[in-house]
A and B are shown apart, each in its own frame.
Chain A
Amino acid sequence: MQETPPQPAPIKTRRWNVSLVWIVPIVALLVGASLVVRNWMQEGPTLTITFRTGEGLVANKTEVRYRNLVIGQVTSIKLAEDKKSVKATVRLSKEAESFASEDSQFWVVRPRIGAGGVTGLDTLLSGSFIGADAGQSARRAEHFTGLESPPPITYGEEGKRFLLSAPDLGSLDIGSPIYYRRIPVGQVISYALDADGGSVTIEIFIRAPHDAYVTQNSRFWNASGIDVTLDAKGIRVDTASLAAMLAGGLAFRSPEYAADGPPAAQGQRFELFADEQSALAPPTGQAKFIRLRFDQALRGLAVDAPVEFMGVEFGKVVAVKLDFDEQKQSFPVMVDAVVYPDRLGPAHAKMLKALKHSPDDEMATARLIGNFVEHGLRAQARSGNLLTGQLYISLDFYPDEPAVAVDLSERPIRIPTVPGDLERVQERFQRLVDKLSQLPLESIVTNLDGNLNELRQGLRFFNRQTLPGLQTTLEELQQTLESANRTLADDSPQRQQLNQAITELRRMSRSLRELTDYLGRHPESLIRGRPKSSEP
C-alpha cells in the first residue's frame, strides 16, 4: 500500500493584516477623547458681558466668582462694534449654569472706598474679578450688561423692596442706610428720574425680619444731615448717625395715630418726606385752592409763605403773580394758595357736621365761603417778621368791611382782601400828609414874614430910642439908691435926726399916756383945768 505524501494545507492570506499595535493610537485617542468629553461635560454656558471699560479684566485670567468661589473665567475681551464698551466673553463652569438666567447680574469687583466703608480690598492682591449674582428667571440669556458698581443687595438676601417718591434725591446715594428706630435695617438700592422728570423714584430694600415693620401707614423721611430746632425750649440738635450725616440716609416709622396696619406689600410706593416732623404730621386732608387779589405791592410774600385762619396755620402760598387789570389800569398781585381745611382740626369737623356739608362738594364749599365772606371774611397780607419783612396771609373776619360779592362759579374761589396793617398805617399817614399839604402855607408864611419885619422895625426903634432912655433911668435909679444908702447909713445925720425924732416921739407918747391917765382919774379937769394942788 503506497502512502500518498501529505498535501500541503491550502494557505489563506489575510488580505488585510492589522497589527495589534494599532491599539496604542486607539488607546491614546480614547484617553484624549475622554479628557475632551470630560472637559466638555464640565463646560458651562458661554456668556458675553458688556462693560463700560475693560479696567482690571485680563483674558484667561480674570475669574468670575460667586461668594468668592470661582465659577468661570474670562476667555477673551474685545472692543464692542460701536467702540463704546468692552465685551468680555466668559465661560462658566457646569454647576454655574443658573448664572446664565436672564436676570443674573455681573459686575467688576475692584477696591472701592465709599462712605459706607471699604470693599474689595482682596482684589488689590489677586487683581479684579467679576462678581456674579444668579438670577431666578427660568429664561436663559447669553448677553448681559455688566453693572458699574456692585449691587447693594444680592438675590439671596431676604427682605422686601419698596419704592419712594421724592421731589429730589437729596444727599442719598445707592447704599445709603435706612433706619428704623435708629437701627440700620436696609439701604437704597437704586434711584431714577420719573419719565416726566418731575420727581425721583428711589428703590429701597429692607432686610428681613425688619421688613415686617413697614406697614401700609409707614412714613419715610430723609434722615440726612443735622436737624437743628430752635424753639422756646432751647436748641435741639438731632442727627441719625454720623454715616447718615455724611452719606445721607432714610428713616421710617408709623405715626402714633396709625401705629398698626397691615404689612406693606413688596414694591409698594410711599411718599418720601423732607423731615420727621412733616412725615409724622397728621394727614393734611383734601387740598382746596383759593385765589386772592391784592391791590398793593406785596414785597416779602414768597411762595410757601404760610396761610393762617384765625391764627392757625392751615395752608401755604403756591404762586404770587402780577396781573394787569384793564378796567382799572392797575397791576394787582394775584396770590394762589392751597389750604387744607382738615388742619383746622375739630373746628372743621364740627363745622362739617353742623352744616351737613360734604367736603367733596365743590359748589357747597364755594357757597360756604361766600357765606363767610358776607360775614366779613377777608384775606390780609400781614408782616410776620418786622426785620426781614416776610409776609404771610391771614384769613380773618372784619365785620366792618363793606360787603363784596363773591363769584361762586369761579375756580379757584376768590376771597376778597383787605390791605395789610402796615398799609393801613401808611394810608392814615398819607391822609395826614394830604391834609397838611392842603393848609394855606403860602399866605401863612407871607403873613409871618410881614410880622417878622414889623417886629424887626419895632426892635430897631426900641434899640434906638428906648434903650438910651432906659440907660439914664437906670443911672438915676442907681444914684437914688446910693443916696438912699447914704441916708440909711448908721453915722448919717438923717439917721441921727431920725433917732432924735424917735426919742422925741417916745417922750411925747409917754407924756400923752400920763395925760390920759390923769384925765382918767380927773375927767373934770377937762372943764375946770388942773387944780393947783394936784401936782403930778
Chain B
Amino acid sequence: MTKTSELIVCEYCDAVYRKTSLARHQRSVCVRCGGVLQRHVGLTVQQRLALSVTAAILMVYAHFYPVMSIRLQGVSNSATLWDSVQILSQGSITFIALVAALTIIIAPVLQVLLLIWVLAFAMLRRRSPAFALCMRGLESLRPWNMLEVCLLGALVAVIKLAGMLDVIPGAGLIALAALSVVLIYIAGRDVRDLWDRL
C-alpha cells in the first residue's frame, strides 16, 4: 500500500498515478485523457511570496487610481474599479454589480491575502493557522477571479471609445494589467505542493 501522499489523481478522468519529480520545462501528462497532471514549479516559496506582495501593492494602485478618464467638450469623467461597481449598482441590474464586485475585487483581494498568509508561514517552514481552510479557499476562489476579463473589457472600451471621446488610460489600467499577469503566474494550482512540503 503506497502512501496517499505519493499518489496523484488526474482531475479530468480520475486516473491514479505515482508522483514524479520534474525538471525544468517538463510536465507529466495523463495517459488516458491527455490532461496535464503536474508542472515543474520553478518558483521558490520566497519568490512566490515576493510576487504575492507585488500583487498586493499593484492591487492597491489598481483600486485607488482611475482606470481611465474620458473627456468630451469640457465634461470629464474618470472611474476607478470601485467606481465602476458603484455605477453598475445604480443601474437597472443591481445583481450584475454584485457579480462584478465579487469577480474583480473580492476574489482577487482574498486570493492575494490568503497567498501572502500561507506563503509567509511557509517561509518559516510552518503551517499557517487554518492552513487547510486557506488552501481550499484558494482553490475554490480561482475560478472566480476574472480580473483578466475585466482588463480585456477595459482595453476594448478604451479602444472603442477613443474614436468618439478623448480617452486617457489611467495609472490604474497599467497596474491592473500587471496585476493580472502576476496573479496568473502565482495563483495557479501550483500551490498544491505546499501540502507536501509542510
Interface residues of A (CB under 8 A from B): 17-19, 21-22, 24-25, 28-29, 32, 35, 61, 63, 122, 125-127
Centre residue among A17, A22, A25, A28 by max chain B CB count within 10 A? A28
**Cβ 8 A contact of B50, one of A25, A35, A61, A127:** A25
**Would you give the 0/1 interface string for B160-171, flagging 1 where the beta carbon is closer than 8 Å to chain A?**
000000000001
Cβ of A25 and Cβ of B73 under 8 Å apart? no
Specify which chain A residues have a CB less than 8 angstroms from the CB of B130 in the assembled complex. Answer: none
Cβ of A21 and Cβ of B171 under 8 Å apart? no
Q: Which of B4-12, B51-59, B102-110, B147-155 contacts A (4 or more CB under 8 A)?
A: B51-59
Cβ of B47 and Cβ of A19 under 8 Å apart? yes
Cβ of B77 and Cβ of A61 under 8 Å apart? yes
In this complex, how many residues of chain B approach chain A with their Cβ under 8 Å: the count is: 21
Closest to B64 in A: A36
8 A Cβ contacts from B29-72 to A: 43-44, 46-47, 50-51, 53-54, 57-58, 60-61, 65
Cβ of B65 and Cβ of A35 under 8 Å apart? yes
Cβ of B47 and Cβ of A125 under 8 Å apart? no
**Cβ 8 A contact of B58, one of A28, A63, A126, A127:** A28
Give the docked Cα–Cα distance between A35 and B46 (Å).
27
Specify which chain B residues have a CB less than 8 angstroms from the CB of A63 in the assembled complex. Answer: 76
With an 8 A cutoff between CB atoms, is B23 at the interface? no
Cβ of A24 and Cβ of B46 under 8 Å apart? no
8 A Cβ contacts from B56-99 to A: 57-58, 60-61, 65, 73-77
**Given A21-B47, A22-B50, residue A126 in contact with residue B57 (CB < 8 A):** no
Q: Is the interface of B mostly helix, strand, loop or mixed?
A: helix
**Given A24-B51, A35-B65, residue A127 in contact with residue B75 (CB < 8 A):** yes
Cβ of A126 and Cβ of B75 under 8 Å apart? yes
What are 10 sample pairs from A and B whose C-beta atoms fall under 8 A apart?
A17-B46, A19-B46, A21-B47, A21-B51, A24-B50, A25-B51, A28-B178, A125-B75, A126-B73, A126-B74
Give the docked Cα–Cα distance between A28 and B171 (Å).
13
Closest to A126 in B: B74
Closest to B60 in A: A32
Centre residue among A18, A32, A122, A126 by max chain B CB count within 10 A? A32
Chain A nearest CB: distance from B129 CB in Å?
Answer: 24
Cβ of B178 and Cβ of A122 under 8 Å apart? no
**Given A29-B57, A32-B61, residue A21 in contact with residue B73 (CB < 8 A):** no
Give the docked Cα–Cα distance between A24 and B56 (Å).
12
Chain A nearest CB: distance from B182 CB in Å?
Answer: 8
Specify which chain A residues have a CB less than 8 angstroms from the CB of B44 in the assembled complex. Answer: 19, 21
**Cβ 8 A contact of B57, one of A17, A28, A125:** A28
Give the docked Cα–Cα distance between A32 and B174 (Å).
11
**Cβ 8 A contact of A32, one of B50, B51, B57, B73:** B57
Specify which chain B residues have a CB less than 8 angstroms from the CB of A17 in the assembled complex. Answer: 46
Give the docked Cα–Cα distance between A10 and B118 (Å).
35
Chain A nearest CB: distance from B66 CB in Å?
Answer: 10
In addition to A21-B43, A24-B51, 4 A-B residue pairs with Cβ atoms within 8 Å of each other are A25-B50, A25-B51, A29-B57, A61-B77
**Given A21-B50, A21-B51, residue A35 in contact with residue B61 (CB < 8 A):** yes
The 10 A-B pairs with the shortest beta carbon distances in the complex, nearest first, are A126-B74, A25-B54, A21-B47, A25-B53, A21-B50, A19-B46, A28-B54, A22-B50, A28-B57, A24-B54
Specify which chain B residues have a CB less than 8 angstroms from the CB of A19 in the assembled complex. Answer: 44, 46-47, 50
Specify which chain A residues have a CB less than 8 angstroms from the CB of B53 in the assembled complex. Answer: 25
Chain B nearest CB: distance from A13 CB in Å?
Answer: 14
Specify which chain A residues have a CB less than 8 angstroms from the CB of B171 in the assembled complex. Answer: 35
Give the docked Cα–Cα distance between A400 and B46 (Å).
129
Closest to A23 in B: B50
**Cβ 8 A contact of A125, one of B60, B73, B76, B77:** B73
Cβ of A25 and Cβ of B57 under 8 Å apart? yes
Closest to A60 in B: B78
Specify which chain B residues have a CB less than 8 angstroms from the CB of A28 in the assembled complex. Answer: 54, 57-58, 178
Give the docked Cα–Cα distance between A21 and B60 (Å).
20
Cβ of A21 and Cβ of B61 under 8 Å apart? no
**Cβ 8 A contact of A21, one of B46, B57, B74, B76:** B46
Chain B nearest CB: distance from A366 CB in Å?
Answer: 75
Chain B nearest CB: distance from A94 CB in Å?
Answer: 18
Specify which chain B residues have a CB less than 8 angstroms from the CB of A126 in the assembled complex. Answer: 73-75
Cβ of A125 and Cβ of B50 under 8 Å apart? no
Closest to B77 in A: A61
Cβ of A125 and Cβ of B54 under 8 Å apart? no
8 A Cβ contacts from B8-28 to A: none
Specify which chain A residues have a CB less than 8 angstroms from the CB of B43 in the assembled complex. Answer: 21
Closest to A17 in B: B46
Specify which chain A residues have a CB less than 8 angstroms from the CB of B76 in the assembled complex. Answer: 61, 63
Closest to B45 in A: A19
Give the docked Cα–Cα distance between A61 and B69 (Å).
12
Give the docked Cα–Cα distance between A63 and B51 (Å).
39
Specify which chain B residues have a CB less than 8 angstroms from the CB of A24 in the assembled complex. Answer: 50-51, 54
Give the docked Cα–Cα distance between A35 and B76 (Å).
21
Closest to B171 in A: A35
Specify which chain A residues have a CB less than 8 angstroms from the CB of B54 in the assembled complex. Answer: 24-25, 28
Specify which chain A residues have a CB less than 8 angstroms from the CB of B73 in the assembled complex. Answer: 125-126
